Structure 1
Amino acid sequence: MSIADIILEKIIKTSNNNITITDEKGIILYTNSDHWSVYDAEPKNYIGESIFKLQEQGLLTPSITAIVLEKKQPTKIMQHTRKGKIIMSTAYPIFDENGDIVRVISYAIDQTEISNLQEQYEQLERKLKGYQTEVEELREKKETHYRSKEMQQISKTLQRVANTDATVLMTGESGVGKSMLARKLHTQGHRQKEPFIEVNCSTIPINLFESEMFGYESGSFTGAQKNGKQGLIEQAHNGTLFLDEIGELPLAMQAKLLKVLQEKKFMRIGGNKERRIDFRLVAATNKDLEEMVQKGDFRLDLYYRLNVIPVHIPPLRNRKEDISLLINHYVDLINRKYNTSKKLHSSTYEVLLKYKWPGNVRELENLMERLILTSEETMIWPKSLPASILSQEPTNGEEMLLIEQFVIEDHNLKNVMERVEKLMLSKAQKHCKSTYEMAEYLGISQPSVIRKLKKYKESI
Structure 2
Amino acid sequence: MNYEVKLELDKIIETSNNNITVTDENGIILRSNPEHWVMYGLEPGFYIGRSVYELEKEGILSPSINALVLKEKKIVRIMQHTQSGKVVMSTGYPVFNQEGRLIRVISYSQDQTEIVKLQEQYSQLESKVAGFQTEVEELREKDASDRPLLFRSTSMKQIFKTLQRVAPTDAAILFLGESGIGKSTLARYIHDQSERQKEPFIEVNCSTIPEALFESEMFGYEPGSFTGAQKSGKQGLIELADQGTIFLDEIGELPLNMQVKLLKVLQERKFLRIGGKKERQVNFRLITATNQNLKRMVDEGKFRLDLYYRLNVIPIHIPSLKERKDDITILLKHYLELLNAKYNESKKLHTSTYDLLIDYEWPGNVREMENLLERLILTIEEDMILPEHLPFDFKKNMQDSTWVLAKERIEKRNLKEVLEEVEIELLTKAYRECKTTYEMAEYLGLSQPTIIYKLKKYKEKLSN
TM-score band by shorter chain is: 0.5 to 0.7
1:208 equivalent in alignment to 2:213: yes
> What's the offset of the Cα at 1:398?
7.0
CA distance in 2, matches of 1:225, 1:353: 51
1:339 equivalent in alignment to 2:359: no
CA distance in 2, matches of 1:184, 1:272: 37
Q: Is the 8 A contact 1:201 1:245 kept in 2?
A: yes
Three-state SS of the structure 2 residue aligned to 1:314 is: coil
1:226 equivalent in alignment to 2:231: yes
Q: Is the 8 A contact 2:153 2:327 kept in 1?
A: yes
Tell me the equivalent position of 1:177: 182
Q: What CA deviation, in whole Å up to 9, does each residue of 1:125-162 have, x standing for no partner?
A: xxxxxxxxxxxxxx99x932101111111111111111
Q: Is the 8 A contact 2:217 2:237 kept in 1?
A: yes
| Residue identity in the other structure for 2:219 | F
1:168 equivalent in alignment to 2:173: yes
Q: Is the 8 A contact 1:347 1:398 kept in 2?
A: no
> What's the offset of the Cα at 1:179?
1.0
Three-state SS of the structure 1 residue aligned to 2:246 is: strand
CA distance in 2, matches of 1:236, 1:207: 22
| Residue identity in the other structure for 2:333 | N
Q: Is the 8 A contact 2:241 2:284 kept in 1?
A: yes
Structure 2: gaps spanning 5 or more residues: 1-143, 408-418, 427-441, 446-464
| Residue identity in the other structure for 2:361 | K
Tell me the equivalent position of 2:373: 368
| Residue identity in the other structure for 1:265 | K
Tell me the equivalent position of 1:196: 201
CA distance in 1, matches of 2:273, 2:370: 39
1:308 equivalent in alignment to 2:313: yes
CA distance in 2, matches of 1:310, 1:290: 12
**TM-score (norm: length of structure 1):** 0.56
RMSD after superposition = 2.5
Q: Is the 8 A contact 1:350 1:398 kept in 2?
A: no
1:283 equivalent in alignment to 2:272: no
Structure 1: gaps spanning 5 or more residues: 1-138, 412-460
Tell me the equivalent position of 1:86: none
Distance 1:222 1:347, change over 3 A: same
Tell me the equivalent position of 1:272: 277
CA distance in 1, matches of 2:384, 2:169: 46
1:349 equivalent in alignment to 2:329: no
| Residue identity in the other structure for 2:220 | G
Q: What CA deviation, in whole Å up to 9, does each residue of 1:56-107 have, x standing for no partner?
A: xxxxxxxxxxxxxxxxxxxxxxxxxxxxxxxxxxxxxxxxxxxxxxxxxxxx
| Residue identity in the other structure for 1:315 | S
Q: What CA deviation, in whole Å up to 9, does each residue of 1:381-436 have, x standing for no partner?
A: 111111111112342447998xx9xxx99x9xxxxxxxxxxxxxxxxxxxxxxxxx
Tell me the equivalent position of 1:318: 323
Three-state SS of the structure 2 residue aligned to 1:197 is: strand
Distance 1:300 1:375, change over 3 A: same
Larger Rg: 1
Three-state SS of the structure 1 residue aligned to 2:214 is: helix
CA distance in 2, matches of 1:340, 1:216: 47
CA distance in 1, matches of 2:353, 2:263: 49
Q: 2:303 aligns with which of 298, 301, 325?
A: 298
1:387 equivalent in alignment to 2:392: yes
Tell me the equivalent position of 2:71: none
**TM-score (norm: length of structure 2):** 0.55
CA distance in 2, matches of 1:187, 1:346: 37
Three-state SS of the structure 1 residue aligned to 2:148 is: helix
Q: Which contiguous aligned blocks of 4+ residues in structure 1 show a shift greater than 2 angstroms? A: 396-401
Tell me the equivalent position of 2:240: 235
Residues matched between the structures, number: 269
Q: Is the 8 A contact 2:205 2:250 kept in 1?
A: yes
Q: Is the 8 A contact 2:181 2:365 kept in 1?
A: yes
Q: Is the 8 A contact 1:167 1:307 kept in 2?
A: yes
Tell me the equivalent position of 1:103: none
Q: What CA deviation, in whole Å up to 9, does each residue of 1:164-193 have, x standing for no partner?
A: 110000010111111111111111111111
Q: What CA deviation, in whole Å up to 9, does each residue of 1:3-48 have, x standing for no partner?
A: xxxxxxxxxxxxxxxxxxxxxxxxxxxxxxxxxxxxxxxxxxxxxx
> What's the offset of the Cα at 1:361?
0.6
CA distance in 2, matches of 1:206, 1:199: 14
CA distance in 2, matches of 1:386, 1:323: 18
Tell me the equivalent position of 2:363: 358
Tell me the equivalent position of 2:63: none
| Residue identity in the other structure for 2:150 | H
CA distance in 2, matches of 1:244, 1:143: 19
| Residue identity in the other structure for 2:288 | A
| Residue identity in the other structure for 1:314 | P
Matches within 5 A, 1:95-174: 143-174=148-179
Tell me the equivalent position of 1:187: 192
CA distance in 2, matches of 1:161, 1:254: 25
Q: 2:258 aligns with which of 239, 245, 253?
A: 253
Q: Is the 8 A contact 2:148 2:185 kept in 1?
A: no
| Residue identity in the other structure for 2:238 | I
Three-state SS of the structure 2 residue aligned to 1:271 is: coil
> What's the offset of the Cα at 1:227?
0.5
Q: Is the 8 A contact 2:149 2:186 kept in 1?
A: no
| Residue identity in the other structure for 2:374 | E
CA distance in 1, matches of 2:206, 2:168: 26
Q: What CA deviation, in whole Å up to 9, does each residue of 1:272-303 have, x standing for no partner?
A: 10100000000000000000000010000000
Q: Is the 8 A contact 1:212 1:231 kept in 2?
A: yes
CA distance in 1, matches of 2:382, 2:265: 55
Distance 1:230 1:398, change over 3 A: farther
Three-state SS of the structure 2 residue aligned to 1:372 is: helix
